[in-house]
Every structure is written in structure tokens, then in C-alpha cells.
Amino acid sequence: MNTRLHDPFKTAFDSLDEFADLISQVLMCPITIEDANHRLLAYSTHDERTDPARISTIIGRRVPEKVINQLWKEGTIPALLKTQEPIRVKNMNDIGLNHRVAISIWKHDEVIGFIWAIEIDKTLTADDFILLKKAADSAKNKLLQLQTRKNKKEERSQEFFWKLLTGHLKAKEEIFEHFHSLQLTPPTSYAVLVFQFHENITNKVEQSISYLLKTNQRIKITLYTIDCNQLILLVSVTNFENPFNELDQFAKFFVLQMSERYGIKGIKPGYSSIKEDYQKTNKAYKETLAVLSIKEKFPIETKDIYNYQKLGIYQIFDLILEKRQTEEYENYSLKLLHEYDQKHNSNLIETLEVFLNKDNNINDAAKELNVHANTLNYRLKRITEIGDVNFKDPNQKMILYLDLKLEKYQGI
């Protein structure tokens, strides 16, 4: 048979499972077909021998995360995203992966899926590679049909999510009807998580985001949407013993993977309190935006804070600022210290802020200011004298700390 002339895949097939069986019969090896996010779409059914990675994929209906990560590290997936040619994948015993050949299924310049052929009894030949390319081409239309249905559902999901975020759905019954119509199970507890990018998210970056979200197996993402430079998620925290820790870890993981895989850096994450009532999704969204706003103004102080609950006093800055402006209040001690700094070109205000940030710890504050402890003690003595500050009075220290932060918040 001349494989260059004959195409055994130019035939009608009712399902991708039937097509996977056909590829398996032609190439005489086990076959799996995945979408672009490594979710299992079909697999050949008459294979007695396989490998652990394929078994896990079939059971879980998706490729295990450890396998995806290793294929990225080994360069297999980056290569599949660049070429329409079949690629050999070497044996990786540590993740249960035998020798196989993979090929991408393309629609114009976009990868919409993959075919994997496991080499058990034979090594695929050059003619087999040609057949595999023909199979990928024949699978394209079926995958496009699935993708169209999926895109329509995602559009409806995003519209629903925006109604939740903006508070346009008020009735609990109506909210749950939307979940039901989208065949989504609302988690019993959730949080709104936002990743803020430096620039508006392009279609290409959105594809990378979608891939990363759908291959992640750390946390369940119920809804997501994109608004200019922000990726907004509604994530389940049901059954988490320590939801804040899980969300922190996911936030760090996402930022790291976007940097390592796609070279996109400087993403800022923030997330809300834990909620159970979906009528409060709008409130959760506002909390998350407040976290990002505070992180923008206080990058050093809040670099390890992603969660609204951990913002502490920063949560109520707007309320305090409104009260201050109404009363035309001015902290007299800070006024005196600012005037002294301007007149003598000194930095007593900075010294005071660092000292309070470090919870009155002389050694930590001196290290931060890069001065000797004796120098710091001298400055603190001058602050006490000039600003009439009593460092043994917790009330005065608290109001000084708060007013210093409010000055920075207003850009003074």
C-alpha cells in the first residue's frame, strides 16, 4: 500500500471514539485524542497494553498535571504549539510515560487539539507519520464542532458572571437557575480572585490564560472572565481546611507559570473574603479591587498580602479618609516633623514610618534604614522632642501609623 496516495481517514465517523479506534487500527497502537487544554475527548478502546500516564488520563478524563508540567519542561508541548509535524516523545518513567508520537490538530494558526500514539510493539515509521498527519487533518472538523458548542457555553457563562459581579442578579432563585441552565454546580463557599496584568489582555494572552486555568488541577474555577487588563475568577474553596493558604498558593502558582511559560511578568493577584451567599458576589468583587488598589499604593508593605481579610487597617482607609476630610483634621506631630525635615533636609518622617512598620524593633528598623542602632536611637530621640511623640503610648503610635499611611494613600 502506498500511504502517500491512500488516505484511510477520509470517511464519515459518528464520534471521536470511533475515529480513535480507526487510527489505532491503521497505526496498530493505542490512541488518545485531547482538546487544546489536555482534556480527554476520545481514546481507542481495544488496547490491552498501555502505560500509567494513559490510564490516569482515561480515568480522570484529563492529562494529569504532573505529566503536563513535565512535557512543558522537556519542551514537548512548546514544540507542539509551533509545528504541524508529528513529534517523538521519549520515555519518562518517573511520570509513567512510555515512548509515543504526538501531533497537534490545527485550525488556521491555532492549536485546537492533540493526537497521541503510544509506541508499544512498534516504532512509527515515516509513512506512519504521514498517516498521522492525515488523521489530524480529518479530526479537525469534529473538534471545531465541539469547540463551537464550548465557546457558546463560555459566552453564556461570562454573561452570567458579569451579572453576578455587578449585582444585577438579586434573587437567589434566579441565580441558581442560571447555574443550573449552564450545568454548573455552585460551590457552597467561594472567593472572587483577580489577576491584574500590566497591559490589556490580548487574544493570544487569553489563549495562554485559558490553557493554564483549564489544565490546573489545584483549585476548581467555576466562572471566569476578562476585563481589559484583569482576569476575574470565581473559585471554589469548598472542603479546604485552610482556604486562604490554598488561594495564596494558587495565586503564586499562576503568576509563576505565566512568567516561566509565556514570559508575562508583573501580574498582581488579589482575592476577596470567603463567601457563601451568591447575592454578595458584587461585594466580594469590590473587596478584591480594594486589595489591588491598596497593593498599588503600598507595594512594599503589602507585597505578601493577596487577601482582603489580611489587609487589616487598610480595609477602612476610605472611611477614615472621608472623616478626616470632613473634619479638616491634621496630625500636629507629623506636621512638626514634616516642617523639620524640609528645613533641615533630614528624614525623621521616613525613620518614624520604618520604626512603626517594624513594630518598634530597633535592630530590624536600623537594618531597613541601613544605619547603626545608635544612629536610629538618636533620631527617635529627636522625633520625641520635635514632634512631642511618646513611643510608650500605644494610642499615639497607632494614630501616627495610621496618618502616615493615609498621607501615602493620598500621595502627599
Whether the CB-CB separation of 378 and 329 falls below 8 Å is answered with: no
How many C-beta atoms lie closer than 10 Å to residue 382's C-beta? 17
Residue among 397, 410, 171, 147 nearest 297 (CA): 410
Q: How many CA atoms lie within 13 A of 371 on its CB side?
A: 17
pLDDT tens, residue order, the chain (412 aa): 444 557 888 877 778 989 999 999 999 999 999 999 898 999 998 667 788 888 888 888 889 988 998 999 899 999 999 999 999 998 888 888 889 999 999 988 889 999 999 998 889 999 999 999 999 999 988 888 887 777 788 888 999 999 999 999 889 999 999 999 999 999 999 999 999 999 999 988 998 999 999 888 889 999 999 999 999 999 999 989 899 999 999 999 999 999 999 999 999 999 999 999 999 999 999 999 999 988 888 888 888 899 998 888 888 887 888 887 788 788 899 999 999 999 999 999 999 999 998 989 999 999 999 999 999 999 999 999 999 999 999 999 999 998 898 888 777 6
Whether the CB-CB separation of 196 and 267 falls below 8 Å is answered with: yes
User: Three-state DSSP class for 43?
Assistant: strand
CA distances from 363 to 96, 195, 400 (A): 52, 36, 21
| Alpha-carbon gap, residue 412 to 401, rounded angstroms | 15
Residue listed under C-alpha cell 464550548: 150
> What angle is formed at CA 86 by the lines to CA 208 and CA 98, rounded to 5 degrees?
90
Whether the CB-CB separation of 219 and 296 falls below 8 Å is answered with: no
* Chain mean position to CA 114: 24
